[in-house]
Every structure is written in C-alpha cells, then in structure tokens.
Amino acid sequence: MPPPLELASLPPVEQLLLIAAAAFLASTVAAVAGFGGSAILLPLLVPAFGARDAVLILTIVQLVGNVSRVVFNRHELVLPVVAWFSVGAVPFAVLGGIAFASAPLAVLTRLLGAFLIGVVAWRHLRPADAGALRMTLPRFALLGAVSSFVSALVGTIGPLLVPFFLAYGLVRGAYIGTEALSTVVIQVAKIGTYAGTAVMTPLSIVVGAALAPLMVVGSLFGKRVLNRLTDRVFVWIVEATMVVAGAAFLLGG
C-alpha cells in the first residue's frame, strides 16, 4: 500500500502557484497547437516533485486537458483515425508503462527532439519532386504503437503525432480534437498500468487533481483563440512550436 500523503512532501506555496500558472498556459498552448503543454509544465514539475512523480502528475493533467479539448471540438472529430490509432496504442502503452521504471530516458528524449526539428526542416526544404508524407487509416495503428510506447517512457508524445495528423489533412478543430481523443486512449492505458504496477502515488494523484480545473479553463481559452486562426497561421504556429519543443528536448534530454 502506498504511503499516505504528507504536507511536508509538498513544495513551497510560491512554487505551487508558479506550477498552477504554468498549467493554465500549458493547456492554452496545447489547445491551439495540439501539443507543447508538457514542454512548459514538465520542467517545473521535475524539480518540485522529482522525475517519477512529475511524469505521473503530467499524465493525469494531460488526460484532463485532452478530454476537455475533445469536448470543445466534438463536432469535428474524425473517429476512424482514433479507432485505428487505438489498435496499436493500447497494448504498447501497457508495455511502455511496465518499462517506465528502468528506461534510459535521456537518449530517447534527444532523439525525439532531433526528429521534430528534422520534420519541420523536411517540410520546407524537401525537393519539389519528393512526395509528401502520406497517411492512410491503417498506418495510424503503427503510429499509435510507437507513440504510446514513447509516451509511457517520457511522459509526452504530442509533438511526435503532429506531422502524421497534418499529413492526413486534419487542421484546426479536426486536428486538435482527433489528436486529443487519440491521446486520451494512451493516457487511460498508461494510468491503468501505472496503478497496476504500484508506481502511482497519492502525491501525484492529489497534485494532478488540483491542477485539473486549470487545464479545462486553459483548453476553453485556447479553443477561442483557435477559432480565430486561418489554416495557414495554424500550421505556422504548430511548426514553430515543434522547433521550440525539439530544441528543448535536445538541450534538456
């Protein structure tokens, strides 16, 4: 049985307030770009709670944030994409959750950073006769398998999904809602696995629940911003966020 939560295990109030503000900002950014929230929140969670609890807290708040984005974009969901994604996501999220305790995270994080920057560079520098990335529904099963395993290890995979969802033609609300629902599948499987392997702690549950309302409010605010963007500006924002997140992963991995 996990140890009871003690107030002494919590960081100072000013640090908690900073984390709360970051949670709102993270949810707003994710509601506009589809990802990037973890890059804002995780660097503050790790020094406050330690790496393991930080990943657990991040999983809980991401689940709440993604569910809210699904609700706010429910009329634009592309459910066949989610269905195929789930085929690969569920079993590999469980495997990744089991491997969570002993994986070498630094190398994997830096590879993810290089991948993000490389994708943006390829989208702009590829030869005119080089075919664009093509996605079919069955390929989302493979994407679900790879991304869910990585997510269970490093706590975030939103940037990894971006080029593939964009390549299928999803933009704005359709992209945000469909990607969010696909990610919810991963996070539910992860939380179930973390709980089953006894790594989920009372501290992570309490802090995650406390930050949850801020994730919902941030998602609502971000949805209003999203409705004002053109498709071209939306893609530009997503790519800029990919570069920033990729650089952060390379430097901080």
Query: What's the mean pLDDT in 215-227?
Result: 82
pLDDT at 3 over 80: no
- A 10 A CB-CB count for 176 gives 30
Please give the pLDDT value at position 78. 94
Give the pLDDT band (50/70/90) at residue 152.
confident
- Which is more confidently placed, 160 or 75? 75
Rounded distance between C-alpha atoms, residue 6 and residue 3, angstroms: 9
How many residues are listed for the chain in this entry? 253
pLDDT at 140 over 90: yes
Half-sphere exposure of 159 (CA within 13 A, CB side): 31
10 DSSP 8-state letter: S
Rounded distance between C-alpha atoms, residue 49 and residue 11, angstroms: 8
Please give the pLDDT value at position 130. 47
Nearest to 32 by CA among 204, 201, 240: 240
Please give the pLDDT value at position 79. 95
Give the pLDDT band (50/70/90) at residue 62.
confident
Please give the pLDDT value at position 1. 47
Q: Which helix (H) or strand (E) holds 103?
A: none
Helical segments of the chain, H only: 13-33, 37-49, 51-72, 79-99, 105-125, 139-154, 158-167, 172-196, 202-226, 231-252
Residue type, 91: P
Q: What is the pLDDT of residues 14-54, one digit of tens each?
A: 888 988 888 888 888 777 776 667 767 776 787 788 767 87
- Angle at alpha carbon of residue 202, lines to 198 and 207, rounded to 5°: 125
Is residue 111 classed exposed, middle or buried when 0-12, 13-18 and 19+ CB atoms within 10 A define those classes? middle
Q: 62 with 38: CB under 8 angstroms?
A: yes
Q: What is the mean pLDDT of the chain?
A: 78
Q: What is the pLDDT of residues 76-134, one digit of tens each?
A: 999 999 999 999 988 888 887 777 655 565 666 666 667 667 767 766 675 554 455 67
